[in-house]
């Protein structure tokens, strides 16, 4: 069994991917361009709904999605501001991009974020290359959106990196989201990772979220690391590659354990050998 696990792990660690695919999903608020990353090898894989920062599908987000796919996942990355920006728009990692992203974050209705999640999850679940087992992951606002996506019963695991605004109900039009109130709807397992030097989510904000998860009995793992906001982004001065590598290990432990493996045949596996 150990050698079987090692063989499978090595096979996926060397897996090439398909990039450049996208689909424009129908949502109640208009078409949502969703970028698809998946292993090149035929087979079925668990699905990951991966949410970007406020800048949409930037280079660092694409590289992270490709890395997830290379470990044996079908990854869908939606453009979170599709109602307001032309499809394919990427906001810059500059003050103008940050200002635009932050304005849209609190212009978009909360219900639209949720209907977007459902559209993307339904797409993944019905995809011919998906096992039907679903997870979510997100960074910054994406961490918050992954948290909300986990309120869907078919999301078995969600990894949330420095999820902004949960503690202060700051997501969506009106800036009065119900994410903490609805936390009890989360039936899957959460992984929360926070940077202790992140001014966007102070210690008391983290403590508020953690206390609520304990109160409603959500199954979760909690990590506070010495990192600044955006320490996972592989551009800019706040990137911490050593810390990012450790955190990705936590992500894959969660997803492999909760979502299982795909059904890619093992080279040389006997007819009676399990592939799951």
Residue with tokens 């001065």: 237
| Catalytic residue selected from 116, 165, 177, 198 | 198
Question: Is residue 160 flagged as an active site residue?
Answer: no
* Closest-CA residue to 201 (of 255, 252, 262, 160): 160
Question: Which candidate in 130, 140, 160, 247 is catalytic?
Answer: 140
Closest residue by Cα to residue 23 from 127, 114, 112, 115: 127
Task: For residue 140, indicate whether it is catalytic.
Answer: yes
Inter-residue contact 118 to 150 (CB < 8 Å) = no
Tokens of 251: 């992500």
Catalytic-role residue among 82, 167, 192, 229: 229
Report the DSSP beta bridge partners of residue 222: 192
Listed in sequence order, the DSSP H helices in 44-174 are: 59-70, 95-105, 110-126, 141-149
Q: Classify residue 242 by burial, with Cβ atoms within 10 Å: 0-12, 13-18, 19+.
A: exposed
> Which residue numbers are catalytic?
140, 198, 229
């Amino acid at each position: 069994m150990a050698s079987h696990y090692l063989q499978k792990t090595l096979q996926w660690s060397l897996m090439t991917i398909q990039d450049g695919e996208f689909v424009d999903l129908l949502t109640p608020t208009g078409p949502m361009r969703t970028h698809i990353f998946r292993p090149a090898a035929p087979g079925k894989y668990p699905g990951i709904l991966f949410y970007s920062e406020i800048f949409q599908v930037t280079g660092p987000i694409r590289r992270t999605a490709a890395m997830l796919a290379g470990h044996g996942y079908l990854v869908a990355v939606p453009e979170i501001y599709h109602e307001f920006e032309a499809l394919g728009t990427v906001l810059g990692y500059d003050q103008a991009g940050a200002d635009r992203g932050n304005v849209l974050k609190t212009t978009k209705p909360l219900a639209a974020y949720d209907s977007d999640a459902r559209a993307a999850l339904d797409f993944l679940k019905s995809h011919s290359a998906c096992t039907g087992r679903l997870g979510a992951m997100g960074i910054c606002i994406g961490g918050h959106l992954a948290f909300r996506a986990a309120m869907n019963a078919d999301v078995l695991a969600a990894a949330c990196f420095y999820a902004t605004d949960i503690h202060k109900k700051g997501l969506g039009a009106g800036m009065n989201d119900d994410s903490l109130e609805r936390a009890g709807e989360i039936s899957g397992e959460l992984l929360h990772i926070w940077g202790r030097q992140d001014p966007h989510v102070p210690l008391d904000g983290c403590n508020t979220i953690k206390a609520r998860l304990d109160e409603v009995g959500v199954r979760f793992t909690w990590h506070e690391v010495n990192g600044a906001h955006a320490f996972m982004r592989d551009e800019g001065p706040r990137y911490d590659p050593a810390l990012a590598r450790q955190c990705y290990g936590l992500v894959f432990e969660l997803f492999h354990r909760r979502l299982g493996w795909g059904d890619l045949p093992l080279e040389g596996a006997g007819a009676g050998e399990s592939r799951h």
